[in-house]
Amino acid sequence: MLVYIVRRLLWSALLLFVISFLVFFIFYLLPSADPALLRAGRNPDPDLVAEINRQLGLDKPFYVQFWRYIEALVTDFDFGTSYQNNVPVRDEIFDRIPATMSLAFGAAVVWLLIGIPIGILSAVKRGTFVERMFMGAALVAISAPVYWLGLVSIYLFSNDIGVAARIFQPPGSYVPLWEDPSMWLRSLILPWFVLATAFAAIYARFMRSNLVDVLDEDYIRTARAKGLSERRVVFRHGVRSAVTPIVTIFGLDLGILFGGAILTETVFNIPGIGRTAFEAIQKSDLPIVQGTVLIGAMAIIAFNLIVDILYAFIDPRVRY
Amino acid sequence: MPLLEIKDLRVHFATEDGLVKAVDGVSYEVERGQTLGIVGESGSGKSVSSLTVMGLTRAPNAHISGQILFDGQDLLMASDDELRRIRGNDIAMIFQDPLSSLHPFYKVGKQIAEAVRTHNHDVSKAQAWDRAVEMLGLVGIPEPRKRADAYPHEFSGGMRQRAMIAMALSNNPKLLIADEPTTALDVTVQAQILELIDRLQSEFDAAVVIITHDLGVVAETADDIAVMYAGRIVEKARADTIFHGPEHPYTWGLLGSIPRLDTARDEELVPIPGRPPSLINLPTGCSFHPRCPYVRDAHRRVEPELAPAGDDPSHRVACLLDHRTRQSVWADLRSGRTPEEARRLEVDRRDAGLDPAVARAEDGA
Amino acid sequence: MTEAAAGAAPRADRATEPLLEVRDLVKHFPITKGVILNRSVGAVQAVDGISFEVRPGETLGIVGESGCGKSTTARLVMRLMAPTSGSIRFDGREIAGARGADLKELRRQMQMIFQDPYSSLNPRKTIGTIIGEPYAIHGLHPEPGRRKRAVQEIMDIVGLNPEHFNRYPHEFSGGQRQRIGVARALALRPKLIIADEPVSALDVSIQAQILNLLRDLQTEFGITLVFIAHDLSVVRHMCDRIAVMYLGKIVELASSEELYAHPRHPYTGALLSAVPVADPRLAAQKKRQILAGDVPSPTNPPPACRFHTRCPKAVAGHCDTDEPLLDPKDGGNLAACHYPLTDAEVAERVPTARVAG
């Protein structure tokens, strides 16, 4: 197992190197705002622009710039400096991580609590109206784009402009957990549910189809033949097997959300990595974009590894 | 009173394609301490009838009728809870593929202990575990305490089946149903398992029902044999009779189509022509008639009942041919004639009017 | 109009060269460990030095239980994988190292029938396409009408209705699907067909149909057949000579009569003893020789004679130190054993031996 982990970490390092190369390369190739011009302000003097170029090292060849970037990253964990406002990228991003984490984890809890039970119920009640209703609702939930859902829910429920019931905090009211726990919670409820909707639906459908397949397995027949109660058969024998692939995709989903749930954060004005990335893209602020991509990649790789290791504990047949 | 008595059991499933008559009027008994072998091919209904005894075929689309008397109690009338108390307790079942029949995520000892604790609520976890280890030892698994801590995929095929048997017997059932227990196993392992079941049967004084398609297996293990075809029992007799004095054309066909070690090597295999029928559109009259070499007109219209063959009350056959006719045909087949030849001989005998009573009985019955 | 190979060959033509000759064939599957660079820490010795030959027109049976290497042997002969070492000569040519175009040409001469008729046919292709695929691959019968006719001809030969050309596998029963497999194997009129447990997954009454079909086709087309099975009664019925494998080695090689009348290797004896006999009277007489324990792991086979750990006749100091060679024993059987079964032992454990041969 240890060997497996070490091997995975080594591959991950290589992967991150390749990813940062690709992002760097793409930005280098694509036409975008000249960062030196951005810094130089209005009506820039050409000499000033050239000086800025030199200072930022933008006059050097591509591979030199890239090498410098990697060097700084590995030795100092320095992601470079924002073109826009000269702030270290690392600080910009790390400041935003708690918000993204709050959003991601909270939504994850919500979608698991809603999706899994609905999936189990649908599987057990296969063929009945209950199942059809749930799966139909799931389809609708998956189809609704998250930004649309976000805007609609704000329109309906936000306590400043909501037309249906003014019960939830409006966008922009996010505060970090340690500042004001109550407000933190209240500001996140609506975003959690909005973000969780599509996931809950997907997990419900996935859980249902897994459980339906598992309940057809021979060992379920054995469990019943042993005289176990139906509840025990479904949960201890059925769900226990059916939930394992869900662990895998859960890791992936969390990892992706960690890169920033761009749409949700933007609609609800939550200062997370996603929104930062969105703004940076608009302004061609390469270091920030690169930083968010790398953090996102690291998150996905980390969660993937955790989930794969977890899998070995869940399924004793898996051995590394 | 027999331990298990099944009377006119019918299990029909309503499906999109039509009504599947998986079991269509099956009756048999199993005595305490005896072994009944149920032989049939796929689609014969042998598994479904046993699963129904355990109540495992109850479903919204299943129509089950008849009687299943276990120790006097009609299981078809029993509630789900009552059936659960009996399953794994008084009646236990083992299945064909022990790898897929054991939960891959739980240790073997735990699965056996679970069976014990389900039916004995006052047993502690430790006691149940000890019982599991004890049972694993009883079925001949070496180092049972260590093995109980292992997962099913860490066992070999034969050991897995032993573990399943251990689990089934852990609550001292009165009846053990073994559904193709050795089909997935190598032949030397098969011999081990059959010998194990035989030994445990006497130790536990249990009745055993072995379901299989392998005539060799029932020849070696069963006291009585029931041959099933298309959801019905076509012949039921003591083991010796089935092999040395069978009276149903399907049984003859089965015996003639299997390669055997005890006959001359170059003897042709005589397959039964055609295929088993669809259970949705069963043939009219005798369900075997489309494939029977000795079919008569009446057989296409009249459904045969399972009735005593000749004088032997333990030998019952569902065939419209007369007992004496069947005996002559079997004699011909046994002396090496092909079914086609035997048929012609039989027709000759009939035409020669050897026994008008017989001819009348068969044509009108 | 059927094409027969140069005369319907007799079943065991001793005068001619063997069609297939295998010498010291070895296949080890390496087990690796390591972080970046995988190094070999052991191997699954699936096939560990076997030699046999198959004469034109005969049927050779290979029997054994799980893990004995019979399926691996089949795949090696078919060159579906390359051997670790050893020689395979087909029709006089060495094919152990064949690749590319040579291999493709080889495939016209040898074909395989697989065990599971439910999973060995592509469910998305019509059976006409499946059976005609060999022609497509080798560029035969390119004219559109001709190929269809050729396929239908084969369908007729194997007992399928030629009008079902455009149906899909799931519309057929198990026995029919196996016929489709046979048809596909037959399409190129190969010299050799390897049948890997072709009837194990079928109902008893259908097994007989397929076995008879194979026998008929063999006689009509002069095909040499290697028949792999675990069911000893089936193998006896179909095969002229039989090789018994255990843990990657051939332990006994004999003609059908010899093997069943007087098996010499204790493992063969145990196999025959274990086969359930469809006769309660004979079964009652049998003194069953039940083998203890399980088959050892092929990654770590017992030294010298691989069977000695379970053999009732094993002698310590001899069987575990000297590997016995496959040589002739009393009656003509080739057996790899220092203490072969005597006639008395055979009579006791294998009651069917009296009737056999």
Q: Are strands C59-63 and C39-54 parallel, antiparallel or unpaired?
A: unpaired
Give the burial string for B199-236 (b: 16+ CB within 10 Å, else e): ebbeebebbbbbbbbbbbbbbbbbbbbbbbbbbbbbbb
Interface test with B, best of C204, C245, C256 (most B CBs within 10 A): C204
* Count of residues in chain C: 357
Residue ranges per domain, chain B? Answer: 97-172
In a domain, residue A272? The reply is yes
* Span B174-196, average pLDDT: 90
pLDDT in tens, C109-149: 999 999 888 888 999 999 999 999 989 888 888 887 888 99
Q: How confident is the model at residue C63 (pLDDT cuts 50, 70, 90)?
A: very high
Closest-CA residue in chain A for C35? A7
Spatial contact of C55 and C13, defined as CB atoms under 8 Å apart:
yes
Q: Which residue has the higher pLDDT, A34 or A157?
A: A157
Per mean pLDDT, which of A13-22, B14-23, B260-269 is the most reliable?
Answer: B14-23
Question: What residue has token string 């489709």?
Answer: C180
- Whether A217 has its CB under 8 Å from any CB of chain B: the answer is yes
Based on the domain organization, do A106 and A213 belong to the same domain? yes
| Residue closest to A229 by CA, chosen among B85, B354, C205 | B85
In a domain, residue A88? The reply is no
Interface residues from chain C to A (CB-CB < 8 Å): 33-36
In a domain, residue A319? The reply is no
Residue B23, pLDDT > 80, answer yes
Q: C164: helix, coil or strand?
A: helix
The residues in C 200-219 lying below 8 A from B, measured between CB atoms, are: 203-209, 211-212
The interface predicted TM-score of the complex, written ipTM, equals 0.86
Q: How confident is the model at residue C357 (pLDDT cuts 50, 70, 90)?
A: very low
Residue A60, pLDDT > 60, answer yes
pLDDT in tens, C79-104: 999 999 999 999 888 998 888 888 88
pLDDT in tens, B112-129: 999 999 999 999 999 999
Quote the tokens at residue C238.
Answer: 């179909």
Lowest mean pLDDT among B82-91, B161-170, B208-217, C9-18: C9-18
Q: Which chains touch B (3 or more CB pairs under 8 A)?
A: A, C
Question: Rounded to the nearest 5 degrees, what angle is found at the Cα of A198, between the Cα atoms of A158 and A247?
Answer: 125
Cα B357 from Cα B350, distance rounded (Å) = 11
**Is A226 close to B118, i.e. CB distance below 8 A?**
yes
Cα B239 from Cα B222, distance rounded (Å) = 6
pLDDT of residue C34: 65
Spatial contact of B167 and B111, defined as CB atoms under 8 Å apart:
yes
First to last CA, chain A: 5
Q: Are strands C224-229 and C59-63 parallel, antiparallel or unpaired?
A: parallel
In a domain, residue A215? The reply is yes
Based on the domain organization, do A193 and A58 belong to the same domain? no
Q: B70: helix, coil or strand?
A: strand
* Span A155-164, average pLDDT: 80
Cα B145 from Cα B136, distance rounded (Å) = 8
- Whether A6 has its CB under 8 Å from any CB of chain C: the answer is yes
**Is C270 close to B261, i.e. CB distance below 8 A?**
no
pLDDT of residue C9: 41
What pairs with residue B7 in β-bridges?
Answer: B67
**Is C205 close to B194, i.e. CB distance below 8 A?**
no
Spatial contact of C185 and C223, defined as CB atoms under 8 Å apart:
no
pLDDT of residue A289: 84
pLDDT of residue B14: 93
Give the burial string for C8-43 (b: 16+ CB within 10 Å, else e): ebebeeeeeebbbbbeebbbbeeeeeeeeeeeeeeb
- Whether A228 has its CB under 8 Å from any CB of chain B: the answer is yes
Q: Which residue has the higher pLDDT, A212 or B42?
A: A212
What pairs with residue B210 in β-bridges?
Answer: B37, B178
Interface test with B, best of C160, C179, C203 (most B CBs within 10 A): C203
**Is C282 close to B262, i.e. CB distance below 8 A?**
yes
pLDDT of residue C89: 92
* pTM for this model (two decimals): 0.86
Based on the domain organization, do A251 and A114 belong to the same domain? yes
| Residue closest to B107 by CA, chosen among B40, B178, B163 | B163
Q: How many domains are contained in chain A?
A: 2
Our CA-based measurement puts residue C315 at a distance from the nearest CA of chain B, in whole angstroms, of 22
Residue ranges per domain, chain C? Answer: 258-357
In a domain, residue A271? The reply is yes
Q: What are the φ/ψ torsions at residue A3 (nearest 5 degrees)?
A: -55, -40
% of chain B with per-residue pLDDT over 70:
96
Q: How confident is the model at residue B360 (pLDDT cuts 50, 70, 90)?
A: low
Q: How confident is the model at residue C182 (pLDDT cuts 50, 70, 90)?
A: very high
pLDDT of residue A33: 58
Considering CB atoms only, which of B188, B257, B262 is closest to C205? B257
Considering CB atoms only, which of B192, B240, B254 is closest to C205? B254
Q: What are the strands of the beta sheet with B232-238, ordered from one edge?
A: B91-94, B175-179, B207-212, B35-39, B224-229, B232-238, B312-317, B307-309
Of A78, A93, A119, which residue constitutes the final position of a domain?
Answer: A78
Q: Which chains touch A (3 or more CB pairs under 8 A)?
A: B, C
Question: What residue has token string 């249906």?
Answer: A164
Per the structure, the complete domain to which residue A188 belongs is given by 101-314
Based on the domain organization, do A183 and A293 belong to the same domain? yes
Residue C15, pLDDT > 70, answer no
Based on the domain organization, do A115 and A175 belong to the same domain? yes
Cα B289 from Cα B277, distance rounded (Å) = 10
Number of other CB atoms surrounding residue B59 within 10 Å: 10
- Whether A129 has its CB under 8 Å from any CB of chain B: the answer is no
Q: How many CB pairs under 8 A join A and C?
A: 8
* Span B303-321, average pLDDT: 90
* Span B83-101, average pLDDT: 92
Spatial contact of C59 and C218, defined as CB atoms under 8 Å apart:
yes
| Residue closest to A196 by CA, chosen among A268, A111, A87 | A111
Our CA-based measurement puts residue A8 at a distance from the nearest CA of chain C, in whole angstroms, of 9
Number of other CB atoms surrounding residue C300 within 10 Å: 11
With 0-12 / 13-18 / 19 or more C-beta atoms within 10 angstroms meaning exposed / middle / buried, residue B311 is exposed
Spatial contact of B206 and B33, defined as CB atoms under 8 Å apart:
yes
pLDDT of residue C174: 84
Residue B364, pLDDT > 60, answer no
Lowest mean pLDDT among A128-137, A239-248, B267-276, C247-256: B267-276
Closest-CA residue in chain A for C33? A3
| Residue closest to A118 by CA, chosen among A196, A221, A23, A16 | A196
- Whether A238 has its CB under 8 Å from any CB of chain B: the answer is no
Based on the domain organization, do A183 and A273 belong to the same domain? yes
Cα B312 from Cα B314, distance rounded (Å) = 5
* Span B337-349, average pLDDT: 86
* Span A3-27, average pLDDT: 84
pLDDT of residue B56: 92
Name every chain C residue with its beta carbon within 8 A of the beta carbon of B270: 208
Number of other CB atoms surrounding residue A278 within 10 Å: 17
Spatial contact of C77 and C22, defined as CB atoms under 8 Å apart:
yes
pLDDT in tens, A225-234: 999 999 999 9
Q: A66: part of which helix (H) or strand (E)?
A: helix A62-76
**Alpha-carbon dihedral A279, A281, A284, A289, rounded to 10 degrees:** 100
| Residue closest to C178 by CA, chosen among C204, C202, C150, C205 | C202
- Whether A126 has its CB under 8 Å from any CB of chain B: the answer is no
Q: Which chains touch C (3 or more CB pairs under 8 A)?
A: A, B
What pairs with residue A254 in β-bridges?
Answer: none
Amino acid at C215: R
Spatial contact of B171 and B88, defined as CB atoms under 8 Å apart:
yes
Mean pLDDT (chain A, rounded): 85
In a domain, residue A91? The reply is no
Q: How many CB pairs under 8 A join A and B?
A: 68
Residue C299, pLDDT > 90, answer no
Q: Show the beta-strand stretches assigned E in chain A.
A: none
Q: How many CB pairs under 8 A join B and C?
A: 142
Would you give the DSSP letter of residue C41?
E
| Residue closest to B36 by CA, chosen among B169, B188, B227, B196 | B227
**Is C231 close to B187, i.e. CB distance below 8 A?**
yes
Interface test with B, best of C205, C239, C355 (most B CBs within 10 A): C205
Of A24, A46, A78, which residue constitutes the final position of a domain?
Answer: A78
**Is A7 close to C33, i.e. CB distance below 8 A?**
no
Quote the tokens at residue B257.
Answer: 């189509």
Quote the tokens at residue B23.
Answer: 């079991």
Mean pLDDT (chain B, rounded): 90
Name every chain A residue with its beta carbon within 8 A of the beta carbon of B102: 219, 222
**Alpha-carbon dihedral A122, A124, A130, A135, rounded to 10 degrees:** 20
**Alpha-carbon dihedral C119, C125, C127, C130, rounded to 10 degrees:** -80
Residue B59, pLDDT > 80, answer yes
Our CA-based measurement puts residue B263 at a distance from the nearest CA of chain C, in whole angstroms, of 7
Lowest mean pLDDT among A56-60, A75-79, C322-326, C338-342: A56-60
First to last CA, chain B: 33
Our CA-based measurement puts residue B80 at a distance from the nearest CA of chain C, in whole angstroms, of 34
